[in-house]
Structure 1
Amino acid sequence: MNNKNNELNERRDFIKTSAILTGGALLSSIPLAGAYASGSDTIKIALIGCGSRGTGAAFQALSTKFNLKLVAMVDAFPDKLEKSHKSLLAKFGAEKISVPEDKKFTGFEGYKQAMEDADVVLLCTPPGFRPAHFAEAVKQNKQIFMEKPVATDSPGIRSVLATAEEAKRKKLNVVVGLQRHYQKNYRELIKRVHQGELGDIVSGQVYWNSGGVWVNPRQPNQTEMEYQMRNWYYFNWLCGDHIVEQHVHNIDVANWVKNKYPVSAYGAGGRFLRTGKDYGEIFDNHSIEFVYDDGSVISSQCRHFTGGANRVDETFQGTKGKIFLDSNNRGKIWDHKGKVLVNYEGKTDANPYQTEHDELFAAITANQYKFADAENAAKSTMTAIMGRYASYSGDVIKWDDALNSNINLMPDKLAWDALPKILPNFDGTYPYAIPGVTKVI
């Protein structure tokens, strides 16, 4: 493969995708595949994954000004489905929550049936399942909202990229929950970067340093599959490590600002404080340098432990100045002499989690094909996975090598009595990567 031509094609693809994400560019007003399949003016939605994020996505979809009805739900766990259903029913009532018992599906395969009667599907399970669920949704001609990240390994990314092309061919709207693309301060200030106000971006730093997330203790008589599913954040086949599941937001902003994807990654990480059996196989810190084809370097930090200074934001330096952005609706641009050119403090801006649904359902209601987020989401997820490969191995990892890896993390069989590929040691701890030893691609 000619790497130079490959990089040029990636840049062209990124610019096309970025225009869609940042400007809401209309791609087509041709009637949509799958839109209003029932012939009704009610948009029927199905919720695939009923955890806190899935329930939140359903809240936001149903809070749009459009005529929506939830008609099916699926989750691996009945208790999560029922908790979600009860919460949504209390908020929106039976008029909008019309999910009879025969449209509540559980287990690993119910997603196929849950999608059948819907016009739009919300894909919100742990990300390891996203490639298969996305493929099925496109096969069934559904309009799609799906959460980030969109895969946890390279085969999954290749699957999502192929499905993204099929979604484009079918003119199916796909919005991905990298919600900074739907946040006003990011849209407005990155537009100014792309217009050249900072010159060429030569470096940057992106952060998600925080205290970490929940742990669900092992229960008596749990199978290994159930335990890992209940603690999906700590197993790479389900989560991808927090550099992928969480830090993908900041890494995606770096790619957005640069208008391209990195060609290599190099860095380190480890398990310094969160070392017990409750924390599965993931690291508690990663520090990566992403190198782009113009020689610029974006430094990336993420960590999960308490007691340190928390930081979740992005900053970049250009030949004419620098920029700061964060998810609290703040942003600032300076010139090289320190003069503030833009000071954005839009604390009353719309919630971007809501905006992504408002804009998706506005397009669907208008019968417009407007959103094709999946390709960029796949490539930004691949950037984060490449960072994990670099952190786990200590090697310089190149983009093409990472993307073409055939290491598949998914279990050979999905069933409650099946075994995942990673299993605990005799003492209940899980094997984890050792930089300098572990091979990742």
Structure 2
Amino acid sequence: MKTREASSRRDFIGTGAKAAAASLTLTAPHFVHAAASDEFKIVLVGAGGRGTGATADSLRVDKRIKLVAIADAFQDRAETSRKLLKERFGPQIDVPDERLFVGLEAYNDALACDADLMIHGTPPGFRPLHYRAAIEAGKHVFMEKPCCVDAGGYRSLLQTNKLADEKNLKVGVGLFRRHMPTYLEAMGRVHDGDIGKIQFMRCYCNMTAWGGGAPHVDGMSELEHQIRNWRVFDWLGGGRLVEAHCHELDVMDWAMQSHPVEVNGMGGRQAIRGLVAKGGRFGTDFDHHFHEYTYADGTKMYSQCRQMVNCWGPMTEHVHGDRAVVDLNGKMRISQARDDGQEPENPYRLEHLHLLDAIWNDKPYNEGWIGADSSMTSIIGREASYSGQVIRWDELVAKAPDVFPKDLTWETEPPVMPDEQGRYDHLVPIPGFYKPY
């Protein structure tokens, strides 16, 4: 890791959480008073449920925030997003037809608009490309997680993070646990040594089964089908592990204030295999994983990720010290860390509140560094499951390819293609044979 990159990470990790915790006592009018003008303009790139929801959370901070453009690959999603936001926020939505952009290049049109901030909610595979374009265009950015789906995307993120810092642009990432009061207090205690030396950690992202996506519609290109069903294609969504487990793995990195150096693990397709046999069009990723991560000082972290029905389903994080244990699922076994009767604050809104505070009051703020590392922590886990090998961080970052197509157009053939029966079984990684690079 280059010295400047490492310094940027340390500066943000060391000061960002404390600044976020301190700003919990502020309210939106304090932020608006510090703004440079009475109007703050945002554009939305990626108008599905996630992007629309993030936009709504930003608009709720203050009524003088306005959405002035929407861009999406698909007309129906762009129009639906505009309709829903207009119904909820009325005059805060100023998106006429001429600023409703559609297509794979629509993000460039949105970024050319007079606006201050891009909210990014596309499939994660697009994120490094669009993030770079936004920073080059001089926009602040809020982007959902994960921030990349492969090592090439991670390398790109590091370059763009440096550019954002050089241009004094603020970057938020949808790792909402970093903004939860209970998590902020817990991490403060961990980092202050209240639980003693960390002995080991464990985390779980065991969920119900995800759907396999919509059926292939006659006349729809394979590329459109995959983009509309991005969650089950690694080149677009990263796979179930990267897309879902990124949150818990980020908390583990947060506790250690660094990323792991290597990981080994295993996984497979249990429930998905049965559904594919019944004719489902599922992608190529696994539906269950188990990993042993190792950090630079030798600390071990054990991770489970599963998407199956009728199975044990915790989504929690646990840090075991030699004096106490932190259970990061809303309760803590230290001293009473919070008032159980305290009304919880919405972290999905707080992450926008903290970003806007940094923009309007010119505070150092670049969550792109933690977004990149947390995404890569997920990616090396996926590659360990797929390959059955020990995956070392530095080797994968340096050697693994960028799988996202260059100059993507509607005529581009996707990186993965179905067989004659419209299935993807032949592309499912086989441990012991799959090569990460």
Q: What TM-score results when the alignment is normalised by the length of structure 1?
A: 0.90
1:369 equivalent among 357, 363, 368: 363
2:232 equivalent among 222, 230, 234: 234
How much has 1:363 moved relative to structure 2?
A: 2.7
How much has 1:218 moved relative to structure 2?
A: 1.4
1:390 equivalent among 374, 380, 384: 384
- Given the alignment of the two structures, is residue 321 of structure 1 paired with residue 324 of structure 2, yes or no? yes
1:16 equivalent among 11, 15, 40: 11
Q: Secondary structure at the match of 1:266?
A: strand
Query: In structure 2, what is the Cα distance between the partners aligned to 1:143 and 1:418?
Result: 30
Q: Read off the aligned partner of 2:132 and give its amino acid letter.
A: A
Aligned 1:6-405 pairs, distance under 5 A: 6=1, 13-24=8-19, 40-65=37-62, 67-93=64-90, 95-116=91-112, 117-214=114-211, 215-275=213-273, 276=276, 277-326=280-329, 330-334=330-334, 342=337, 345=340, 348-366=343-361, 368-405=362-399
Q: Tell me the residue number matched to 2:401.
A: 407
How much has 1:331 moved relative to structure 2?
A: 2.4
Q: Read off the aligned partner of 1:282 and give its amino acid letter.
A: D
Q: What TM-score results when the alignment is normalised by the length of structure 2?
A: 0.91
Q: Read off the aligned partner of 2:433 and give its amino acid letter.
A: V
Equivalent pair of 2:20/2:354 in contact (CA under 8 Å): no
Query: In structure 2, what is the Cα distance between the partners aligned to 1:234 and 1:226?
Result: 13
Query: In structure 2, what is the Cα distance between the partners aligned to 1:315 and 1:216?
Result: 36
Equivalent pair of 2:63/2:92 in contact (CA under 8 Å): no
- Gaps of at least 5 residues in structure 2 are 22-35
How well do the aligned residues superpose, as a CA RMSD in angstroms? 2.1
How much has 1:343 moved relative to structure 2?
A: 5.9
Q: C-alpha deviations, 1:93-119, integer Å up to 9, x for none? A: 1x2100011111111111011012211
Q: Secondary structure at the match of 2:331?
A: strand
Equivalent pair of 1:189/1:331 in contact (CA under 8 Å): no
Q: Secondary structure at the match of 2:271?
A: coil
Change in Cα spacing, 1:346 to 1:244, as seen in structure 2 (3 Å) is: farther
- Gaps of at least 5 residues in structure 1 are 1-5, 27-38, 335-339
How much has 1:416 moved relative to structure 2?
A: 2.2
Q: Tell me the residue number matched to 1:423.
A: 417
Change in Cα spacing, 1:112 to 1:412, as seen in structure 2 (3 Å) is: closer
**Which protein is richer in helix relative to its size?**
2
Equivalent pair of 2:44/2:118 in contact (CA under 8 Å): yes
Query: In structure 2, what is the Cα distance between the partners aligned to 1:9 and 1:104?
Result: 39
Q: Secondary structure at the match of 1:249?
A: helix
How much has 1:66 moved relative to structure 2?
A: 5.3
The worse-fitting range, judged by mean Cα deviation, of 343-352 and 175-184 is 343-352
How much has 1:300 moved relative to structure 2?
A: 0.9
Query: In structure 2, what is the Cα distance between the partners aligned to 1:179 and 1:207?
Result: 17
Q: Read off the aligned partner of 2:435 and give its amino acid letter.
A: K
Equivalent pair of 2:400/2:436 in contact (CA under 8 Å): no
Q: C-alpha deviations, 1:397-438, integer Å up to 9, x for none? A: 001011112422212442223211111122222111111110
Change in Cα spacing, 1:343 to 1:40, as seen in structure 2 (3 Å) is: closer
Change in Cα spacing, 1:259 to 1:241, as seen in structure 2 (3 Å) is: same
Q: Tell me the residue number matched to 2:31.
A: none
Q: How many residues align?
A: 416
